[in-house]
Structure 1
Amino acid sequence: MNEISCCTVSCDKPLDQDYWDAQYKANTTGWDLGLVSPPIKAYIDTLKDKDIAILIPGCGNTYEAAYLLEQGFTNITVIDIAPTLVKIIEEKFITNTRIQVLLGDFFNHKGEYDLIIEQTFFCALPPTMRQKYVWKMHELLAKDGILAGLLFNRKFEVSPPFGGSQEEYDLLFKNAFDFIKLEKSDNSIAPRSNSELYFEFKKNGAVKVNLYEFEGITCSGCMNTVTEKFAAVKDVLNVSMNGNFTEVLIVSTIEIPLEELQKIVSYDDHYKIKKITQ
């Protein structure tokens, strides 16, 4: 992970509500395809149950939702943080009772969904939020729920969209989800040909997925030491810390007591860990 780039974006150029609303006001939305992405369209066409609860976070102009409605799906929720965009979407679907349009922060959202569709939301987040993304997706999905969509398969940039690699995604989502598919997309639009991965992940309901705030780490070497210590704990399956060392994701077969985690890092008085519950 390019920690310098991550910090530059997350600290110097906050990707907050004002940032995204300004993009829609100025119509600087170069990521907008103008149509439902072909790999996601093909996936939707395989779905048999039209009544499943579907969420599209960071929905943009939500061509995916429009296509779902055309195909007869009845329980769709879309959420975005940009007021200008949400107003447009609300007007577009004002008479349709099969879709709920929400303005808000995805990470504060509550609900339970059978399917969450990923389409340029993950890549719009600062890379330092990726552990939080995994945690929140796992929380929102129902038993055996599916997270499906597209991820970029290219290097990081200093502004959105942010890329990644299959190796990184393997490590990030490992054990929190069962991988049904994670492969190069063979039907992406031409500008994104050979740069997207199509994926289908099923929620692993047999594990605990917890996110923690962490204080005190100042370098990648210390981060590696801490994550290795946590990974060595019995019943821990996967540990991942974000690029600015402030959040750690722990996947385990049982709940690991917070006191045990704090004791593990007590060799340094600066290290503090706190469980995130929202």
Structure 2
Amino acid sequence: MTDTPERIQTSEGKSRLIKHFEKSSINNHNEAWTNLWETNNDDMWDRGKPSPALINLIEQRPDILSPITADGRRKKVLIPGCGKGYDVVMLALHGFNATGLEISAKGVATAERYAREEFPSPQSYNFGSSTSRPEKGSVSFIQGDFFADSGEKFDVIYDYTFLCALHPSMRARWAGRMADLLVSGGMLVCLEFPLFKDPRLTGPPWPLQGVYWDLLAEGGDGIVYPPKAGVEDQRDPRTGQFDRMLYVKPEISYESGKGSDMLSVYVRK
């Protein structure tokens, strides 16, 4: 069953998350996320496994997302807000050099422990239907603020529940930071969630219908309410820093967004 805005707003985990952030100013959201880790409330966003939609993209569309560059270098991937590290480990198992970023020291320690246990003998949920097993890449984790200055560049960034965790006033900064972190021609892969949630509802997770396109392709501020008519069909003016090369409904996804998630790939100009 696909979550409705009412279910996600009133379910115990999500209402606790929203109430937690209602007590905190926007400037203190980093501390609010850290507090959830420190008080063992990370279950409110934990999916328990890597992204099925991302696995399917890697295995079924190597023409779009391959772990090796044209000149034979292993691609560097960043997963901001990586949680317990499921996607970081999965990407490394598929041949990428994967880095996870978390704001909390406890979150990083949790992800590092998971990687130590999972990487040598991975569970089947790290793979889809493909029987091919590429040479493993590397796994690393960083504690820090996504918006802090850094000279490091990546070939790929994966965003699932990172943008929806940010207050809407921070969306333009998110888009600018994504552009800064990617090499020219680099890819931002987004599992867009939640698209089913009424834009009038609060978060996190904040509703994102039409937001990725507005931010990345149009160079907007990401404040899309009400949703623009025909927003996904607009192509001009291309004032954003990204071109969209893929926009599909994934064949498989998490239950929380199944049937409503969209998988998009944006290329840094």
Give the aligned partner of residue 89 of structure 1: 111
Question: Aligned letter for 1:103?
Answer: Q
Q: What is the aligned-residue identity percentage? A: 28
1:44 correspondence with 2:58: yes
- The answer to which structure has the higher strand fraction is 1
Tell me: CA distance 1:93–1:20, structure 2 relative to 1, closer, same or farther (3 Å): same
Tell me: CA distance 1:42–1:15, structure 2 relative to 1, closer, same or farther (3 Å): farther
Spell out, residue by residue over 1:203-227, the C-alpha distance to the aligned partner (whole angstroms, 9 max, x if none). Answer: 01xxxxxxxxxxxxxxxxxxxxxxx
- Answer yes or no: is the 8 Å Cα contact 2:252–2:258 preserved in 1: yes
- Answer yes or no: is the 8 Å Cα contact 1:115–1:146 preserved in 2: yes
- Answer yes or no: is the 8 Å Cα contact 1:138–1:176 preserved in 2: yes
Give the aligned partner of residue 78 of structure 2: 55
Map of 1:96-115 to 2, 5 A cutoff? 98-110=138-150, 111-115=152-156
Can you give the 5+ residue segments of structure 1 that lack an aligned partner in the other structure?
205-278
| Alpha-carbon separation, structure 2, partners of 1:160 and 1:39 | 22
Question: Aligned letter for 2:257?
Answer: R
Superposition TM-score, scaled by structure 1 size = 0.63
Tell me: CA distance 1:92–1:11, structure 2 relative to 1, closer, same or farther (3 Å): closer
Q: Which has the higher contact order (CA 8 A, sep 6+)?
A: 2
Question: Aligned letter for 1:197?
Answer: M
- For the aligned residues, what is the CA RMSD? 2.6
Question: Aligned letter for 1:64?
Answer: D
Tell me: CA distance 1:63–1:200, structure 2 relative to 1, closer, same or farther (3 Å): same
1:198 correspondence with 2:263: yes
| Alpha-carbon separation, structure 1, partners of 2:26 and 2:40 | 17
Give the aligned partner of residue 215 of structure 1: none
Aligned partner of residue 139 in structure 1, secondary structure: helix
Give the C-alpha shift of residue 14 in structure 1: 5.4
Tell me: CA distance 1:171–1:72, structure 2 relative to 1, closer, same or farther (3 Å): closer
Tell me: CA distance 1:11–1:112, structure 2 relative to 1, closer, same or farther (3 Å): same
Give the C-alpha shift of residue 109 in structure 1: 4.6
Aligned partner of residue 147 in structure 2, secondary structure: helix
| Alpha-carbon separation, structure 1, partners of 2:254 and 2:49 | 10
| Alpha-carbon separation, structure 1, partners of 2:115 and 2:49 | 17
- Answer yes or no: is the 8 Å Cα contact 1:15–1:125 preserved in 2: no
Give the aligned partner of residue 238 of structure 1: none
Spell out, residue by residue over 1:88-131, the C-alpha distance to the aligned partner (whole angstroms, 9 max, x if none). Answer: 22334469892221000011152101000112111111111100
Spell out, residue by residue over 1:158-177, the C-alpha distance to the aligned partner (whole angstroms, 9 max, x if none). Answer: 221111113x3322212310
| Alpha-carbon separation, structure 2, partners of 1:162 and 1:10 | 16
Count of residue pairs brought into register by the alignment: 196
4+ long deviations beyond 6 Å: none
Give the aligned partner of residue 70 of structure 1: 93
Give the C-alpha shift of residue 137 in structure 1: 0.4
| Alpha-carbon separation, structure 2, partners of 1:200 and 1:39 | 12
Tell me: CA distance 1:200–1:10, structure 2 relative to 1, closer, same or farther (3 Å): farther
Give the C-alpha shift of residue 77 in structure 1: 1.4
- Answer yes or no: is the 8 Å Cα contact 1:59–1:119 preserved in 2: no
Can you give the 5+ residue segments of structure 2 that lack an aligned partner in the other structure?
1-17, 69-73, 120-136, 218-239
Give the aligned partner of residue 207 of structure 2: 163
Structure showing greater radius of gyration is 1
- Answer yes or no: is the 8 Å Cα contact 1:23–1:29 preserved in 2: no
Map of 1:239-258 to 2, 5 A cutoff? none
1:31 correspondence with 2:45: yes
Aligned partner of residue 61 in structure 1, secondary structure: coil
Tell me: CA distance 1:179–1:33, structure 2 relative to 1, closer, same or farther (3 Å): same
1:123 correspondence with 2:123: no
Give the C-alpha shift of residue 28 in structure 1: 4.2
Superposition TM-score, scaled by structure 2 size = 0.65
| Alpha-carbon separation, structure 1, partners of 2:67 and 2:54 | 16
Give the C-alpha shift of residue 190 in structure 1: 2.5
Spell out, residue by residue over 1:42-93, the C-alpha distance to the aligned partner (whole angstroms, 9 max, x if none). Answer: 12223433410111111111211111222233x2211110121112223344
Aligned partner of residue 54 in structure 1, secondary structure: strand
